[in-house]
Structure 1
Amino acid sequence: MKILRTPDARFAHLPDFAFSAHYCEVTDPDGTAVRIHYLDEGPPGAGPVLLMHGEPSWSFLYRRIVASLAARGHRVVAPDLVGFGRTDKPADQSDHTYERHVRWMSDWLAATRLSAITLFCQDWGGLIGLRLVAAFPERFARVVVANTGLPTGEGFSDGFNQWLEFSQSAPVLPIGQILSMGCRRALSEAEIAAYEAPFPDESFKAGARRFPALVPITPQHGSVAENQAAWKVLERFTKPFLTAFSDSDPVTKGGELIFQQRVPGAKGQKHVTVADAGHFLQEDKPDEIADLLHGFIASTK
C-alpha cells in the first residue's frame, strides 16, 4: 500500500489551531505502517471526550470545541481519520474500505488506552465511531450522535445521493468549498484554506473521494452485515445516548429518530435539535456543542 504524508509546512499558522500534534502508528494487515494524528488537550487524568470528524473534514473542524472543553477541565481527544488531516493517506481508492478504516481506528483506540469515553461523532465519524462503540462498549461512558447514521443497506436521502454523484464525478474535489457549502455561516478564506491544507493536490484525496461510495446504502454494499451486527450491540447499549442533529442538513435530516427508537440509552434523554446549523454543525454552533457536551457529562456522571 502506497502512503502519502502531507508536509508539516501545510499546517503552519492555521487560524485558532495552536494545538500540539500527537501521533500513533498502527500496522495494516498487509504490513504497512500507518501514522495517525490526533489532538490531546486538557488534563490527562480527566475522562476523555472523543471528537470524531467525518468526510471530507479533519480535526480542525473541532478547534473551538476542543479549546472550550479543555478550558473547563475536560480531556479532549480528536483524531484525524486515515486519509485526512495530518494522518497518513493511502494513495489508491481501492486501499480505502469501510472495514479497513474501522480496523485502523480500532487499533488506534486500543493503543491510546482511552476509557470512560464520551463520544461525539458526526458524518463518517459516526459510521466509524459507532462501530468502535459496538466493538468496545465497555470503553464508552456516553455517546452523542450528530448528523450521522449507521446504514445497513437501505436507501439514503436525496441530499446524500446528490453528494454521492458529485463526489464521484467532479474532476477536482474542492474540499474547502464543500465545507463552506455545508455550513450556514460563511467560512473565511483562511478557514477554507485550512480545510484544503491536508491535500496538496488531487493525489492526496483518495480517501475523500472514496468515502461517499463506501456508505452501505444498498444490500450489495460491503459492511452491511458488520453494521447489522453493530446495531445488535447498540440495541443493548443502556448508557446515556443523546442525539444532537441540526435543523438544516439535507443529508441526514430525520436520522436521529432511528437512534432514539432503537438505542435503550436514548430513552428519556433530552435530545437536541441544533438550530440554524448545517451539515457541519461544529462550524456553525461550536459554543452550543461544547455547552451541550459539558452539561451532558455533568448530568450523567
Structure 2
Amino acid sequence: MQVLRTPDDRFAGLADWPYAPHYAQVMDSDGTALRLAYVDEGPRDGAVVLLMHGEPSWAYLYRKIIAALVAKGHRVIAPDLIGFGRSDKPAKRTDYTYARHVAWMSQWFSGVDLKHVTLFCQDWGGLIGLRLAAAFPERFAGLVIANTGLPTGAGMTDGFKAWLEFSQTVPEMPIGMIVNMGTGRELTLAEIAAYDAPFPDETYKEGARQFPTLVPVTPEHGQVAENKAAWEVLERFDRPVITAFSDGDAVSRGGDAVFQARIPGAAGQSHVTTKGGHFLQEDCPDDITAIIDTLIRTRS
C-alpha cells in the first residue's frame, strides 16, 4: 500500500487550532503501518469524551467543542480518520473500505485503552463510531448521535443521492467549500483554508472521493451484515443515548427516529433538534457542548 503523509507545515497557524497532535500506529492486514493522529486534551482523570468526525472533515470540526469541554473538566479525544487530517492517506481509492476503517479505528481505540467513554458522532463518525460502540459496549458510558446513520442496505435519502453524484463527478474536490456548503452559517476564508489544509493536491483526496461510495445503502454493499450485527448489540445498549440531529440536513433527515426507536438507552431521554446544516458542529458548538456535558453530569 502506498501511503501519503501531509507535510506538517500545512497545519501551521490554522485559525483557532492550538492543539498539539498525538500519534499512534495502526497496522493494515497487508502489513502496512499507518500513522493515525488524534487530539487528547484535558485532565487525565476527567470524564472521557470521544469526538468522531466524518467526510470530508477532520478533528478541526470540533475545535470550539474541544475547548469548551476541556474548560468543564473533561478529557477530550478527537481522532483524524485515516485519509483525513494529519493521519496518513493511502494513495489508491481501492485501499479505502468500510471494513478497513473499522479495523484501523478499533486498533487505535484498543491501544489508547479508553473507558467510560461518552461518544459524540456525526456523518462517517457515526458509521465507524457506532461500530466501535457495538464492538466494545462495555467501554461506553453514553452516546450522542448526530446527523449520521448505521445503514443496512435499505436505500438512501435524496440528499445523500445528490451528494453521492456530486462527489463522484466533480473534477476537483473543493474540500473546504464542501464543508461550507454543509453549514448553516458562512465559514470564514481562514476556516475554509483549514479544511483544505490536509490535502495539498488531488492525490491526497482518494479517501474523500471513495467514502460516499462505501455507505451501505444497497444490499450489495460491503458491511451490511456487519452493520446488522452491530444493531443487534445496540438494541441491547441501555446506557444513555441522546440524538441531536440538526434541522437543516437533507442527508440524514429522519435518522434520529430510528435510533430513538431501536436503542433502549434512548428511551425517556431529552432528545434535541439543533439548528444548522449537516456539519452542525460549525453551527451550534455551544449547544453540542451543553448536551454532552449534561449527559455526563446527569449520569454521574
Deviations for 1:114-158, whole angstroms, at most 9, x for unmatched residues?
010000000000000000000000010000000000000011100
Pairwise mapping of residues 213-228 of structure 1 onto structure 2 (< 5 A)?
213-228=213-228
Pairwise mapping of residues 135-284 of structure 1 onto structure 2 (< 5 A)?
135-275=135-275, 277-284=276-283
> Could you tell me whether the CA contact under 8 Å between 1:47 and 1:115 is conserved in 2?
no
Is residue 50 of structure 2 the alignment partner of residue 47 of structure 1?
no
Paired AA for residue 157 in structure 2:
S
Q: Distance in 2 between matches of 1:297 and 1:46?
A: 11
Is residue 292 of structure 2 the alignment partner of residue 293 of structure 1?
yes
Q: Distance in 1 between matches of 2:5 and 2:44?
A: 28
User: Aligned residue for 1:31?
Assistant: 31
Unpaired runs of 5+ residues, structure 1, are: none
Q: Distance in 2 between matches of 1:27 and 1:221?
A: 24
SS at match of 1:43: coil
SS at match of 2:165: helix
Q: CA deviation at 1:170?
A: 0.9
Aligned length: 300
Q: Distance in 2 between matches of 1:271 and 1:257?
A: 10
Q: Distance in 1 between matches of 2:31 and 2:44?
A: 31
Identity in percent: 63
Q: Distance in 2 between matches of 1:200 and 1:45?
A: 37
Pairwise mapping of residues 5-154 of structure 1 onto structure 2 (< 5 A)?
5-154=5-154
Deviations for 1:32-57, whole angstroms, at most 9, x for unmatched residues?
00100000000011121000000000
Q: Distance in 1 between matches of 2:259 and 2:202?
A: 36
Deviations for 1:156-185, whole angstroms, at most 9, x for unmatched residues?
100000000010111101100000000010
Deviations for 1:240-269, whole angstroms, at most 9, x for unmatched residues?
011000000000011000000000000000
Q: CA deviation at 1:20?
A: 1.1
Deviations for 1:201-242, whole angstroms, at most 9, x for unmatched residues?
000001100000000000010000000000000000001011
When the two chains are superposed, the root-mean-square deviation of aligned CA atoms in Å is: 0.5
Paired AA for residue 10 in structure 2:
R
> Could you tell me whether the CA contact under 8 Å between 2:46 and 2:73 is conserved in 1?
yes
Q: Distance in 2 between matches of 1:34 and 1:7?
A: 15
Q: Distance in 2 between matches of 1:223 and 1:165?
A: 21
Normalised by the length of structure 1, the TM-score is: 0.99
Normalised by the length of structure 2, the TM-score is: 0.99
Unpaired runs of 5+ residues, structure 2, are: none
Q: Distance in 1 between matches of 2:53 and 2:143?
A: 14
Deviations for 1:10-45, whole angstroms, at most 9, x for unmatched residues?
000001100111000011111100100000000011
Q: CA deviation at 1:291?
A: 1.2
Q: Distance in 1 between matches of 2:135 and 2:225?
A: 14
Q: Distance in 2 between matches of 1:200 and 1:165?
A: 24
Large movers: runs of 4+ above 3 Å: none
SS at match of 1:25: strand
SS at match of 1:76: strand
Paired AA for residue 80 in structure 2:
D
SS at match of 1:49: strand
> Could you tell me whether the CA contact under 8 Å between 1:48 and 1:117 is conserved in 2?
yes
